[in-house]
Structures are given as structure tokens and as C-alpha cells.
Amino acid sequence: MLYHVRMDVHPPRDMPAAEFDALKAAEKVRAEELQRQGKWRHLWRIAGAYANVSIFDVADHDELHAILSTLPLFPFMHMQVTPLARHPSVIG
Amino acid sequence: MLYHVRMDVHPPRDMPAAEFDALKAAEKVRAEELQRQGKWRHLWRIAGAYANVSIFDVADHDELHAILSTLPLFPFMHMQVTPLARHPSVIG
Amino acid sequence: MLYHVRMDVHPPRDMPAAEFDALKAAEKVRAEELQRQGKWRHLWRIAGAYANVSIFDVADHDELHAILSTLPLFPFMHMQVTPLARHPSVIG
Amino acid sequence: MLYHVRMDVHPPRDMPAAEFDALKAAEKVRAEELQRQGKWRHLWRIAGAYANVSIFDVADHDELHAILSTLPLFPFMHMQVTPLARHPSVIG
Amino acid sequence: MLYHVRMDVHPPRDMPAAEFDALKAAEKVRAEELQRQGKWRHLWRIAGAYANVSIFDVADHDELHAILSTLPLFPFMHMQVTPLARHPSVIG
Amino acid sequence: MLYHVRMDVHPPRDMPAAEFDALKAAEKVRAEELQRQGKWRHLWRIAGAYANVSIFDVADHDELHAILSTLPLFPFMHMQVTPLARHPSVIG
Amino acid sequence: MLYHVRMDVHPPRDMPAAEFDALKAAEKVRAEELQRQGKWRHLWRIAGAYANVSIFDVADHDELHAILSTLPLFPFMHMQVTPLARHPSVIG
Amino acid sequence: MLYHVRMDVHPPRDMPAAEFDALKAAEKVRAEELQRQGKWRHLWRIAGAYANVSIFDVADHDELHAILSTLPLFPFMHMQVTPLARHPSVIG
Amino acid sequence: MLYHVRMDVHPPRDMPAAEFDALKAAEKVRAEELQRQGKWRHLWRIAGAYANVSIFDVADHDELHAILSTLPLFPFMHMQVTPLARHPSVIG
Amino acid sequence: MLYHVRMDVHPPRDMPAAEFDALKAAEKVRAEELQRQGKWRHLWRIAGAYANVSIFDVADHDELHAILSTLPLFPFMHMQVTPLARHPSVIG
């Protein structure tokens, strides 16, 4: 099932840069892994913002929450989840 | 270039049903045509709403506006356009 | 899977009362049917508003949208859908 | 009487992790106790958020406020309370 | 139990003045009746607006909704309900 | 003259608990004093929130501001003031 | 006492122009009268909007509401009232 | 002096198309005239919306309001005006 | 030219009281000076808030910005500027 | 292609003034450089705010994001990007 997720990152002001960089690197590794598994289907940067639009393809709400809530940057992100259904005008 | 567009449809209360159905049929034809051309890359229904999330892939802002503003349902839709850039964690 | 749905009804000003009453009666029949099927798990009136909070238990987003978008009052309702995951503190 | 409560948790950035974990453990114990008493009737995680939707069944506003305002995480939560009445289309 | 209710009236543009005046007169009769019964405890006009702030004292959510939803002007009002608990600093 | 005031308290995270408790105690003393003087006519807790709804009866805007701005918790409260006029449907 | 009032005019689409012009003319007459009485102390047009910012100087909330609610355009205006107190840095 | 103006057009549903087209043609003539006079310095379409962003260069607020409020489409536009000052990092 | 400015003050939590008091005193001196110059024409306290409504009379946007951005409390204020034009119903 | 960008600066409270001044100086150098390159076409200060309205002319979304996200003050700015298309009433 597909979920549309918008993530806005709010980096903590008081965390040492090296520590936050490590979190970002871990986030990147995890994002690539989930893309290879076919679960993180699309990932786009919103121009001009520290934010992205993502499409996830997972089994159910519990798997979605398990994935999102364990992302390394989760404590510093605001997420907005929208369930996507099939549109009747889609071809193929 | 990619654009994220959310479209919310507000059907006019005072239009005869047959007339609005004709507009919807024309919208469907146009949406399928644009998908076949590769310009309307993704089209998803937002569950529980008369609304969709779409990804367009067009040459520039002018082409995007030309496409969106000539959709048969354009006068009855609210659109929100977000430019999408490449995300550094995208694979492949 | 569980979905939280808030529905706000906006009755059309220009529809004859008898016609809207017929829609409401049909909505009631459908709501009772979906409750008996176990798909519309909870249904509460928001005090002081022509609105409800509902919990649906359906197979996926497509089934949810199919149910919601064919409710007799759908054209006159604003719906807000929230996917619900299991909470780690739930007992039993 | 039933109350719909949405709770959004905003963990304090400057509290030691062990201290906040202790609060979370105490919150879990209290939530389970209130569920066993039949006062916290439903508890769902909002997918992708550190937030929940809950249904409380208590005697009156004072009991609700007494319960909510003494939850261990209360100082770090934003709560939105909605009184729920019986819906005329509910079966059984 | 006490409930704080803000009511904003949106008179229908297309209703004949005499018909709306009759609804207002009926609303006034009902408001006075509920005040005499002690259920509508306070009623204040918000200066500069066709709106009021009210305090209701009723048995439960169901009685509140039954009263509010049968007010003659209910179809033309937006209501916001807030449950009120006892404040620890209240005297007497 | 009557004023409707909603007060939301935002306790400072970095103040020692004892210091804030002293402010709360001073606030309680002042609130009781103003109630005895008939100036703070009503005071209700909003269920589930560190907030209240109050009705003040004072001579004019200047007296209202003098009272509100010298409350011990004023620096930690957001206040919303609404002037209340007599409602034509009030009895007695 | 001084009140800050912002008024936004929403002309009715379905009223004959001559009828609305008559209301505007009556509004102008009344505004001038209230200015001569010293009750409508300031009146400014918000650039680019069919809206104004006004300062009223009246005895109390009831007089303010009586004045505002009987303005010829009142049914077509949204008003926002803010009570103004004396500022400690004002000279003279 | 420069003013930033965002204009959103809300075409009236109940006006005959020919009548609205005439207004749009008159608006275009006026917009071109004001551009030639150097008063309407920039005019851009917001992609995907019946809206524009404009920069006006006029003598003062009164001239701005006189220009905006006499545009043929003014009754069908929502406008948001922002005064622009010189930025210290501008070159030339 | 006239500008309507609403200023909301957000005192910094972590600044020593004496330091902020010095800023407030400097702000008062500057406000009085600008009033004597006729540039800060009106200054009112919003009842119940650490905020004011002001009317400025200055030559142009640049002078307004120069004045506002050099107020001693500017770094701790949120300002909302609205250009005011002459209203056709103003007398005298 | 043209992009409308509004930037609101939120200076960090806890950064030494000299450090933030260095960032501002670097931002100014970069802004001037981008203006000379013709990429930052317009830059205006919003009167009364630590904010600007800018027009960028760049090749695509990726170049826009690359420019904006490497501005020295980017971590302290909120940006809102709007794609601008050609308006049919533009002359010349």
C-alpha cells in the first residue's frame, strides 16, 4: 500500500555538528537500504527547504510507523502521512 | 523537471450532473493522454477526498501552467504546486 | 487496518428538504450495514456539531476510499483520514 | 461519558534520556492501569507521529481533567479534548 | 456539568426576512426557557459580532447535543464546545 | 463591564520547580482576592489543558490591563480578551 | 474608552447594484454622523482591500455593539474588535 | 515607492461567460496601460493558479489604492499588499 | 503617509532582567522622541497582551523600515505592517 | 526560469553576535555575487520585518535548491518558493 509522507527536518540547535552529521549519515544509509528493498519508492527534495516528499510502499500502518519512527532523524522531523488509493484515471 | 501538485476538486453545486460528468470524462481523457506522453508521471487518489496528488515532468513553469490551466476541471480545482529537486540520498 | 475518519456534514442550502432527508435515510441504512459487517467499527457524534468521529477497519486504502466515496452524503461531507497503528501501551 | 482526546508529545530537548525514559515507563504503567479500569477505552498510535488518539470513558469533566493532568508526560503533551455524544445511526 | 459554547450565526442570504425573523423569535423563546430551567447558565453577546459565548449546565454530552442541535437557528450556526472542569483557585 | 479572557499557561522549562511553584501560589492568592472583590467573576479550567476561561467585571480597559499584566504568571501566559455585551435574549 | 475595529466588507453577489449603493450611501451618512459626535475617532482604508481600520471612543461594550450592529452594511461585514488600553510610553 | 501585491482571482459562478470575458479583456487593457506608465512594474502568473504576483511603483498608498480598487476584476480578487523597502545587499 | 503597525513583544527568557529593563527604557525614550517628531502618531496597548497598535506617519517605506528596525526592542518584536489610505467617508 | 522566494530570517539567540555578523557579511557577499551573475534578479526588504522577497532566474529546480541551501544564513531562514510563469497581459 502506498503512503505519501512529507518530512520537515528541524535540526537541533544545541547538538554538536559532528553528532548531527553522524545522524544524517545514518539516515542516508537507512534511506538507501529502504529504497533497495522497494519500501521507500520515491524521495524528492522540496526546493528551498530542508524537507522532502516521499512515497512508501509497505504492508500496513504498523510497518509504516515502525519504519518512520526508527529513522535516525525521526526525533527532529515533523511528518505528515496521507494514505494513497488508486486513481480511476491511471493508465496501464 | 518535476513538480508536485495537489489538486482538490470542488464540483459546482448548480451545474447539471450530465454537464459535469462530461467534464470529468474529458478530464480523464486528457489525464490519460498526458500520462502516455510521460508528462503526468504519477497520479494518486487521496483516500477519503475528492483530491489527488500528482507528479508532473515538464520542461518549465510555462509548460506546467499551460497544462494545468487547460485541464477541463481547472475552474473547479484548487491546486498547490511544489517544485521538486533531486534528493542526495536517492539511489540509482 | 484501522483508520480514524472525521466527517463534517455541510447540507446543501438549495436542496429540497425531502430530497436531503432521503439521502440521510440512505446514509443511515448504509452506516448500519457497514457496522454489521464490522467495517465501521465506531461511530460517535461530536457534541454540538453536524459531524462525527469514526473508526474504520478495512483491508486497505482502496477499500476505505471505495466505502467513503460511495456514502450517500459523501458529496456534502468534508473528511479527514488518519491511519492508526498499534500503540505499544495497549493491553490485552 | 466518552471523550475523544488527541495527545501530541513534545519531548524536552534538554532532559537526560534516562529521566525521560523513566517518565515514559511510568506513563505506560499508568495507561495500562487506566485501561484495566475501563476508563481509557481506546488508545491508538497516529502513524508517523509521536501522538495518539484516545477514547476515555469517565464520570465527568473533573475526572477527565484529574486523569489527564496527572499523566507523567502531561507537561510535555498538547491535548485536544472533544466530547462525544451518541450517534443516531449506531446499531446495537 | 459545565460546557463553554461559542456560537457564530451565519444568516442564510436567500431566506425571506420574515422567515428568518420567525426563527430568531423562536430561538429567543427557547433560550429564555432554557435559562429558566437553569440549563443555559450564561449568555453574552460578543461585541461587534453576530455571535455569543454561552455556558451550559446539563447532565451529559447527550443532553448538550440534544439541546444545541434542536435550537431553531442550529442549521445557521457554527458551534465550538469546550468542557469546563473546576479550577483549583475558585473560592467558595 | 464584562470581559471574556482565555489564558493559556506555558511554564518555563528552565525555571527551578520551587520558583515556579511560588509563582503559582502567588497567582492563586491574587485570583482569590480578585474573586472576593467581584472583579474576577468566573474562573473555569479547560479540561485537559493548562488553561482557563475567565470572566472579568471591571471599570474599563485600563483596569483590565492593570489586573492582567500584574498577575504573577502573566509572563508565562498567552491571553485572548473578548469584550462581552448584553445579549437581547438574556432573562431577568 | 477606545476600541480598535477592523471591518472587512463582503458585498452580496445577488443584490441589485442600486440597492447596495443605497446601503453604502446610508453607511457613509452614518459614519460621518458618528465622526461628528466624536465616537468614530479614526477611519482608514486598508490599501488594496474593501476593508478599514477604525478607532471608536464610546462609553462601554454595549454602546459599541449598538453602534456597530446597526451600521447599514453590518450584515455584509466581518468585524474584529480589540480593546485598547493606555500605553505607558504615550506622551502628553 | 514599491509595493508587492498578490492577487487571487475568484471568478463569479453566476456571471455569463461573455460578461466575465469582457471584464478580463478590460483588465488586460488596463494592465498594459499601467505597465506602459511604469506603475505596474512586474506581473507574473503563479504556476497552477488563477493568481499573480505584481510589483507596483506609485507615489503613495492613495495612488496604489486608487489603481487597485478600480481594476475591472477588483470585485472578484483578493489582494494582499506588502510595502517593499530597499534591501542593504542590493547592488548598483 | 500612514502605516498601521501591530507589534508583539516576545521578551527573551535568558536575558538578565536588568539588561532587558535597559532595553525597555531605551525603547520608551525613542518612542517618546518619535511621538514628539510627529512620526509615531498613535500608540495604544492591546489589553491583556504585551503588544501595541501603532500608527506611523513617515515619508516612505524606507523611512518606516529605518525607524522600526532600529527600535531597541526590534529583535524581540514581531511586527505586522499595513499601509493605510484615505477613506472616502472621512470628514474634515 | 523565474522563482519567487520569500525568506524570513530567525537569528539564533545563543550565537555570539560576532559570529552571526560574520554570517551576515558572507551572505551579503554571496547575494551580490549572485546578482552580478543575473541569477538573483530582484531583492527587496519587507518593511518592518527581518525578511525579504526575491526573484531568482536559474536553469531549474536543482540549481535553485543548490543556491538557496548554501546561502550562509540558510540554517536560520524559512523559505517559501513559488514558481512564476509568464502572464498573458505582460507587455514587451
Question: In this complex, do E61 and D81 lie within 8 Å of one another by their Cβ atoms?
Answer: no
pLDDT computed for residue B59 by the predictor = 98
Shortest distance, CA H15 to any CA of chain G (angstroms): 10
Q: How many CA atoms lie within 13 A of H40 on its CB side?
A: 25
- Closest-CA residue to G76 (of G17, G8, G2, G6): G8
Q: Is E60 near chain F, with CB under 8 Å?
A: no
Least confident of H8-17, I48-57, J59-68: H8-17
CA–CA distance, F29 with B55 (Å, rounded to integer): 60
Q: Which residue of C has its CA nearest to E80?
A: C48
Output the pLDDT for position B45: 98
- Shortest alpha-carbon distance between residue D14 and chain F (Å): 9
Q: How far apart are CA E65 and CA B32, in angstroms?
A: 48
| Positions of chain G with pLDDT lower than 70, given as ranges | none
The minimal CB distance from G48 to the residues H12, H14, H64 is found for H64
- By C-alpha distance, the chain B residue nearest A35 is B91
What residues of chain E score a pLDDT lower than 70?
A: none
Quick one: pLDDT at residue G14? 83
Q: Do E48 and G14 touch (CB under 8 A)?
A: no
Q: Is H17 buried (19+), middle (13-18) or exposed (0-12) by CB count in 10 A? A: exposed
> How confident is the prediction for chain H on average, in pLDDT?
97
Percent of chain I whose pLDDT exceeds 90: 96
User: Going by beta carbons, is chain C in contact with chain A, meaning 3 or more pairs sit under 8 Å apart?
Assistant: yes
- Residue from the list A12, A61, A79 with its beta carbon closest to the beta carbon of D13: A12
Backbone angles phi, psi at E64, to 5 degrees: -60, -50
Q: Indicate yes or no: CB of F81 within 8 angstroms of CB of I47.
A: yes
Contact assignment for D48 to A80 by CB distance below 8 Å: yes
Residues in contact with F83: Cβ distance below 8 Å, sequence separation at least 6, in sequence order: E46, E47, F1, F2, F3, F4, G3, G61, G64, G81, G83
| pLDDT (0 to 100) of residue A66 | 98
Tens digits of per-residue pLDDT, A10-29? 999 889 999 999 999 999 99
pLDDT digits (tens, 9 = 90+) for A57-76: 999 999 999 999 999 999 99
Closest-CA distance, D48 to chain F, in angstroms, reads 24
C-alpha cell of residue H86 = 530597499
Cβ separation D79–F49 shorter than 8 A = yes
Rounded to two decimals, the pTM is 0.96
Q: How far is D17 from chain E (nearest CA, A)?
A: 33
Q: Given CB atoms, is J53 within the 8 Å cutoff of chain A?
A: no
Nearest to I86 by CA among G24, G71, H64, G55: H64
pLDDT digits (tens, 9 = 90+) for J1-48: 999 999 999 999 889 999 999 999 999 999 999 999 999 999 999 999
Tell me whether residues H64 and I86 touch, CB distance under 8 A.
no
Tell me which of G87-91, H74-78, H88-92 is least confident. Answer: H88-92
Q: Decide: F50 and E85 in contact? Cβ < 8 Å.
A: no
In Å, how far from its chain's centre is CA F4? 9
Residue C47 has pLDDT above 90, yes or no: yes
Q: Touching I: which chains, 3+ CB pairs < 8 A?
A: F, G, H, J
Which of B9, B45, B76 is best to mutate for the C interface (most C CBs within 10 A)? B45
Domain limits, chain H? 2-84
- Name the pLDDT band for B13 (thresholds 50, 70, 90): confident
Put simply, whether F43 touches G (Cβ < 8 Å) is no
Whether E85 has its CB under 8 Å from any CB of chain D: the answer is yes
* B28 inside 8 A of chain H by CB: no
Query: Is B45 within 8 Å of chain C by CB?
Result: yes
Closest J-chain CA to I13: J13
Percent of chain J at pLDDT above 70?
100
The mean pLDDT value of chain B amounts to: 97
CA distances to G36, G39, G59, H46, I84 from G56, in Å: 12, 5, 10, 39, 17
DSSP H helices, G1-92, are 17-36, 61-69
Question: Is the pLDDT assigned to residue B18 strictly greater than 90?
Answer: yes
Percent share of chain C, pLDDT over 70: 100
Of I64, I62, I60, I61, the C-alpha closest to I7 is: I64
pLDDT score recorded for residue H92:
78
d(CA H85, nearest CA chain I) in Å: 5
Which chains reach chain J with 3 or more Cβ–Cβ distances below 8 angstroms? A, B, H, I
| Separation of alpha carbons C7 and C66, rounded Å | 16
Is F11's Cβ below 8 Å from some Cβ in I?
no
Q: Are G23 and G70 in contact (CB under 8 A)?
A: no
Q: Is H51 helix (H, G, I), strand (E, B) or coil?
A: strand
Q: What are phi and psi of A45, to 5 degrees?
A: -85, 135
Gap between the Cα atoms of D72 and D75, Å rounded: 8
Q: What is the pLDDT of residue I51?
A: 98
What's the number of CA atoms in the CB half-sphere (13 Å) around residue G20? 12
Q: Phi and psi (nearest 5°) for E78?
A: -100, 130
- How far off is chain C from B48, nearest CA to CA, in Å? 5
Q: Mean pLDDT across the stretch I44-56?
A: 98
Pairwise CA distance, residues B5 & D5, whole Å: 33
pLDDT, tens digit (0-9, with 9 covering 90-100), for J79-89? 999 999 999 99
Distance, CA of D11 to CA of D19 (rounded, Å): 11
pLDDT of residue G7: 98
* E77 min Cα distance to partner chain C (Å): 9
What local confidence, expressed as pLDDT, does residue F3 receive?
Answer: 98
Q: H-type helices in B1-92, by residue range?
A: 17-36, 61-69
Establish if A12 touches chain J: CB-CB under 8 angstroms. Answer: no
Locate the chain G residue with the closest alpha carbon to H81. Answer: G48
DSSP 8-state symbol, J15: S
Residue type, B62: D
Residues of H in contact with I83 (CB under 8 A): 3, 61, 64, 81, 83
Give chain C positions within 8 Å (CB) of B47.
3, 61, 64-65, 68, 81
ipTM of the complex: 0.96
Q: Does the domain made of H2-84 have the CATH classification 3.30.360.10? A: no
Q: If you average pLDDT over residues C16-36, what whole number do you get?
A: 97
For residue C13, the chain E residue with the least C-alpha distance is E12
Q: Is G11 at the interface with chain H, CB within 8 A?
A: yes
What SS3 string covers chain A? CEEEEEEEECCCCCCCHHHHHHHHHHHHHHHHHHHHCCCEEEEEEECCCCEEEEEEECCCHHHHHHHHHCCCCHHHEEEEEEEEEECCCCCC
Residue in E68, D92, D44, A78 with CA at minimum distance from that of residue C5: D44
Whether H3 has a pLDDT exceeding 90, the answer reads: yes
- A53 chain-J contacts, CB cut-off 8 A: none
- If you search the block for the grid coordinates 511621538, which residue do you land on? I35
Please identify every stretch of chain F with a pLDDT value under 70, giving residue numbers as ranges: none
Asked if pLDDT for residue I3 goes beyond 80, the answer is: yes
- Note whether E5 contacts C49, CB cutoff 8 Å: no
Beta bridge partners of E44: E53, F86
Q: Is residue D55 pLDDT above 80, yes or no?
A: yes
Contact status of J52 with chain H (Cβ, < 8 Å) = yes
Cell of A17: 555538528
Interface test with H, best of B65, B80, B82 (most H CBs within 10 A): B65
B16 touches chain C (CB under 8 A): no
Which residue from B36, B52, B87 is facing A87, i.e. has the nearest CB?
A: B52
pLDDT of residue D14: 83
pLDDT digits (tens, 9 = 90+) for B47-88: 999 999 999 999 999 999 999 999 999 999 999 999 999 999
Q: Does C16 touch chain E (CB under 8 A)?
A: no
Name the residue of chain I whose CA is nearest to F68's CA: I48
Q: Could you tell me what percent of chain B has a pLDDT over 70?
A: 100
The shortest C-alpha distance from J44 to chain A (Å) reads 18
Sign for the pseudo-dihedral over CA of H30, H35, H40, H44: positive
Please name the helix (run of DSSP H) or strand (run of DSSP E) that holds residue C55, with its range, or none: strand C51-57
Q: Would an 8 Å CB–CB cutoff place G80 in contact with chain F? A: no
Report the alpha-carbon distance of residue F20 to residue F41 in Å, rounded.
25
Q: Is the pLDDT of residue C13 over 90?
A: no
